[in-house]
Amino acid sequence: MRFTLGQIPGRPNNAIKTSVIVIASQILFVLFIDMADCATFDNLPTLYQYYTAGGIKTGLSDNQTYFTLNNKNITLFSGALHYFRVPKVYWRDRLRKYRAAGLNAVETYVPWNLHEYENGVFDFGNGGSDFEDFLDVVQFIELAKEEDLFVILRPGPYICAEWEFGGLPSWLLRYENIKVRTTNKQYIEFVERYFKKLFELLTPLQFRKGGAIIAVQIENEYGNTKYGNKPVETAYLEKLKELLMQNGVVELLYTSDTPTNGFSGTLPGVLATANFQEGATHELTLLKEFQPNKPLMVMEYWTGWFDHWTEKHHTRTAEEFGKVLEEILSFGASVNMYMFHGGTNWGFMNGANIDDDSFDNRGYQPDITSYDYDAPLTESGDYTDKYYKTKDIIAKHNKIKVRQPDMPASTERFAYSSIHIISELSLEDLVEQSKVLSTDKVLPMEMLPINNDSGQSYGYIVYRKNNLNISKNSTLKIEGRICDSVLVLINGQLKSRILKSKEDFEGFGYWKLQNGSLNLGNEEYKNATLELVVENWGRVNFGKLYQFNQHKGLWQGNLLLNDHVLTIDQIIPLEFKKKWNNGLKNWKVPIFESGPKLYKAILNVDEPKDTYVDMREWNKGFIIINGFVLGRYLRLGPQQTAYLPAPLLKKGENELLVFEHFSPSKQIKFSENLIF
Ligand SMILES: *[C@@H]1O[C@H](CO)[C@@H](O)[C@H](O)[C@H]1NC(C)=O
Ligand SMILES: *[C@@H]1O[C@H](CO)[C@@H](O)[C@H](O)[C@H]1NC(C)=O
Ligand SMILES: *[C@@H]1O[C@H](CO)[C@@H](O)[C@H](O)[C@H]1NC(C)=O
Ligand SMILES: *[C@@H]1O[C@H](CO)[C@@H](O)[C@H](O)[C@H]1NC(C)=O
Ligand SMILES: *[C@@H]1O[C@H](CO)[C@@H](O)[C@H](O)[C@H]1NC(C)=O
Ligand SMILES: *[C@@H]1O[C@H](CO)[C@@H](O)[C@H](O)[C@H]1NC(C)=O
Ligand SMILES: *[C@@H]1O[C@H](CO)[C@@H](O)[C@H](O)[C@H]1NC(C)=O
C-alpha cells in the first residue's frame, strides 16, 4: 500500500479534518494539528495514561522473564531515531509516524562530539555550534512524550552509529596517551565532565520522575570481540555504570551486543540485549541461555544496512524484514528496530569502518552521507512497504489497547529547476580568507593551536611550502599514509590525478597507498608554491580499539622532494564553518578549470520544500547550503543525490556552494527523490 502526496491514510470519512491536515502539511509541518482527537481509538487511554494510571511506583523492570513498566506488562516495540540526523522541525512528524505504526518507544543515541564540540564547550541547542539546531535533546525527549512514546537512551560515550569517530570528540586525540573506551584516567575524566552536563538535563526526564526515558544503555557493543576489542575491560563498563548512577540515572540499565559474538560486554546484574539482522531464533536462544530469568530484548534489529562510498547500495526486502520481525516477536522478545528512520549524516559527520588487521589506515572505508538505511521510513521520511509491514505485525502482537494516531501525511518534495554557477573561489582565494599558521612541522589537524586549543576537528587541511624551486621530473613522496585523501597543487594548478575509478584509491593521493609518490611533471618551477590539500573523510566508528586513535591530515612520516626531506612553511585549516562560509568574499567569474575550488549558485525559493541536490554531473566534494555543510558527494556513488530538507531553506535567495576537488559542472540540478 502506497499513497500519494496530500492523501491521508486512515479514516476516509473524516473529510473536514483531513482537508485541514492537507493544508497544514502543505504549509510545511511547521504547523501541527493535534491529531489525538481524530485518532482511531478516541475513547482509549494514551500509552502514558495507561502506564501511569494510579501513579508512578516504579519503572521498567527486568525482574522476571518479561518486562513490566510500573508493574504493568509491556512488550517494547521501539524504533531508532537519532535526533541529530533529522531537522528539528521534523522531529514531531517522524515521532508521530513511529507511534502511528504502533511503536511504543523511540531509541536515540547521544553524540558527544556534537554536544561538546570544543573541549569544555557544550551545545544542547542554541550553544553556538553549526549543529545547534539539531542538538536540543531535551526538546526531542519531551516531544517523544507528547507524541506518546517512551524513550530508550543510548548516551555512549561511544555510540558507533556510522557516525564520525563513533561520536567521540576529535579533541580527545590531542592527548598523546589517551585511550578511548577504556579506564584510562584522562579519558574517564572527560567522560565524567560530559556526563555531568548531559545528565543534569536528562535525569529529570526519566519515567520515574514523570518523563519519557525508561531505559539507559551502558557503552555500545563493548563485547564485540569478533572485531578485536580484546581484552574487554569490564572495569570500564563498571565505571560507566557507576557514573550513570552517580548522575542520578534510576531507570533500567542494559548492555547491547550480538550474542554469537559472546557475552564479554555484559555486566553482572545488568540486562544484556541482542543486536542482529538474521538468525533471530539462534541469537535469542543464546541470550536466553545466558540470562534465563530476564526478559528478552533485541536492542538493534537491523532493518536494512548502510553503505560505504563506492559500494553497491544495500537493500533488504520488506518480506525478509517482516519475516525476522515476526520471528523476534513470536519468540516473546521486545524489539528496537535499527533504524526505523535513518536520516542523514550531515556535513562531515559520516563515520567509517576499518576492515582489516593493519594498525594503520589501509582498510579504511568511509560511509556515505545518506543514512537512509533502507529503513521503514526513508531518509526524507516517506512511508515504505517495511513501514506497513511493521504496522501489521505490531497490531497482531500488541496486547495493550491504547490510543494510536492516524498516519501523518507525507511531506511534499519538489525538484527545483537547475541553477547556474555564478562565481567561484580558488584554493588561493580560500586560503587568503583563512587562518594561516606558520610552522615547519607537518601536524595532524587535531594538533593545531586553534579553536580554544581544541584543534581542528573536521574538513580539510592545507600544507604549504613557499618559494620552492622544483626541477623537471621531480618526485614528491609522502611517507606513511594520507588521512585520507590529498590534492597536490603547484602555483594553484592541480598536479595529482583526477579521480576516475575506485581503483584510483590504490594509487597516489589516497589512504590505501603507503609511501606514495607523485611525479610532478616536465615543467621546471622557480620560487613556486606547493600545496597539499588533505581531506578528512570521516573518522572510524567501527574497528579495533587501537584503531580509535586516528588523527587526520599528514603526520605519519616525512615529505620528500627527490628524496630530500621537505619542510613546510604554513598550515591552513579549512574547516568550512558556517560563519566563515557565510562571510566569504572576493567571488570571481567562474572559469571552471580542474582542481579544488568553491562554486556558488543561488536558489530562489517561493515556499521551501524538501528536495534532493542531484550531483551526478560533479565528481567529488561537498555541498554547503546557507553556510551549513550539508554533506559529501562522489560520482563513484552509490549515493548520487543529497537530501536538502525544507527547514534548511528559506523564502527568497538561498546560497548553495559546492566544493569540488576535480571537475566542476556549470550547474546544479535537483531531484524529487534519492538516487543511488
Ligand atoms: C527489581 O527487584 C529488585 C530486588 O528485589 C528491587 O529492588 C527493584 O525495585 C525491582 N525493580 C523494579 C523496577 O521493580
Ligand atoms: C504478564 O505477562 C506474563 C508473561 O507473558 C503473563 O504470565 C501474565 O499473565 C501477564 N500479566 C497480565 C496482567 O496480563
Ligand atoms: C575555552 O575552553 C575552556 C575550557 O577548556 C572553556 O571554559 C571556555 O569557555 C572556552 N572559551 C571559549 C571562548 O569558548
Ligand atoms: C631557486 O632558484 C633561484 C634562481 O635560480 C635561486 O636564486 C635560489 O637560490 C633558489 N632557491 C633555493 C631555495 O634553492
Ligand atoms: C624521471 O625520473 C625517473 C626516476 O625518478 C627516471 O626513471 C626517468 O628516466 C626520468 N625521466 C626523465 C625524462 O628525465
Ligand atoms: C614505507 O616507508 C617506511 C619508512 O621509510 C618503511 O618502514 C615501510 O616499510 C615503507 N612501506 C612500504 C609499503 O614501502
Ligand atoms: C617569490 O614569490 C613570492 C610570492 O610568492 C614573491 O613575493 C617573491 O618576491 C618571489 N621571490 C623571487 C626571488 O622571485
pLDDT at 362: 87
Pocket test for ligand 7, best of 428, 467, 570 (most atoms within 8 A of CB): 467
| Bridge partners for 597 per DSSP | 426, 660
Is the CB of 586 inside a 6 Å radius of any atom of ligand 7? no
Q: Which residues are known catalytic residues?
A: 221, 300
Pocket test for ligand 3, best of 116, 118, 189 (most atoms within 8 A of CB): 118
- pLDDT of residue 6 exceeding 60: no
pLDDT at 10: 34
Is the CB of 58 inside a 6 Å radius of any atom of ligand 1? yes
pLDDT at 358: 67
Taking phi over 0 as left and psi of -120 to 50 as alpha, with beta for the rest, 522 belongs to alpha
For ligand 4, atom 11: residue with the closest CA: 469
Closest by alpha carbon to 328, among 392, 262, 283?
Answer: 283
pLDDT band at 39 (very low <50, low <70, confident <90, very high): very low
Percent of the chain with pLDDT over 70: 92
Among 197-206, 227-236, 515-524, the minimum mean pLDDT is found in 227-236
DSSP 459: S
Assigned CATH topology for domain 419-423+584-671? Jelly Rolls (2.60.120)
Instruction: Kindly report the pTM of this predicted structure.
Output: 0.93
pLDDT band at 544 (very low <50, low <70, confident <90, very high): confident
In this prediction, residues 427-456 reach a mean pLDDT of 97
- pLDDT of residue 410 exceeding 50: yes
| In 27-62, alpha helices (H) | 47-52
In this prediction, residues 413-428 reach a mean pLDDT of 98
Among 19-23, 215-219, 257-261, the minimum mean pLDDT is found in 19-23
Residue type at 48 in one-letter notation: Y
The mean pLDDT of the chain is 93
- Identical topology for domains 57-341+376-397 and 419-423+584-671: no
In this prediction, residues 156-183 reach a mean pLDDT of 96
pLDDT band at 34 (very low <50, low <70, confident <90, very high): very low
Candidates 3.20.20.80, 2.160.10.10, 3.50.50.60, 3.40.50.300; CATH matching 57-341+376-397: 3.20.20.80
pLDDT at 355: 81
pLDDT at 361: 81
Number of alpha carbons in the 13 Å side-chain half-sphere of residue 96: 20
pLDDT at 250: 98
Closest by alpha carbon to 161, among 540, 431, 442, 521?
Answer: 540
**Could you tell me the residue ranges of all domains in the chain?**
57-341+376-397, 419-423+584-671, 434-575
pLDDT tens-place string over residues 390-399: 999 999 999 9
Measured in angstroms, how far is the CA atom of residue 527 from the centroid of ligand 5?
Answer: 22
- pLDDT of residue 101 exceeding 80: yes
pLDDT at 1: 30
pLDDT at 360: 74
pLDDT band at 540 (very low <50, low <70, confident <90, very high): very high
pLDDT tens-place string over residues 41-85: 578 999 999 999 999 999 999 999 999 999 999 999 999 999 999
Ligand closest to the CA atom of residue 362: 6
Pocket test for ligand 2, best of 66, 72, 334 (most atoms within 8 A of CB): 66
pLDDT at 228: 57
- pLDDT of residue 123 exceeding 80: yes
Measured in angstroms, how far is the CA atom of residue 468 from the centroid of ligand 7?
Answer: 10
Residue-wise over 405-419: b if at least 16 C-beta within 10 A, else e?
Answer: bbbbbbbbbeebeeb
Residue-wise over 161-197: b if at least 16 C-beta within 10 A, else e?
Answer: bbbbbbbbbbbbbbbeebbbbbebeebbebbeebbee
E strands present in 502-563? 516-519, 525-535, 540-542, 559-561
In this prediction, residues 277-284 reach a mean pLDDT of 98
- pLDDT of residue 323 exceeding 60: yes
Phi, psi of 136 (to 5 degrees): -80, 75
Ligand closest to the CA atom of residue 563: 5
Among 25-39, 313-327, 499-513, 588-602, the minimum mean pLDDT is found in 25-39
- pLDDT of residue 29 exceeding 70: no
| CATH classification (class only), 434-575 | mainly beta
Ligand closest to the CA atom of residue 62: 1
pLDDT at 357: 67
pLDDT at 359: 65
- pLDDT of residue 14 exceeding 80: no
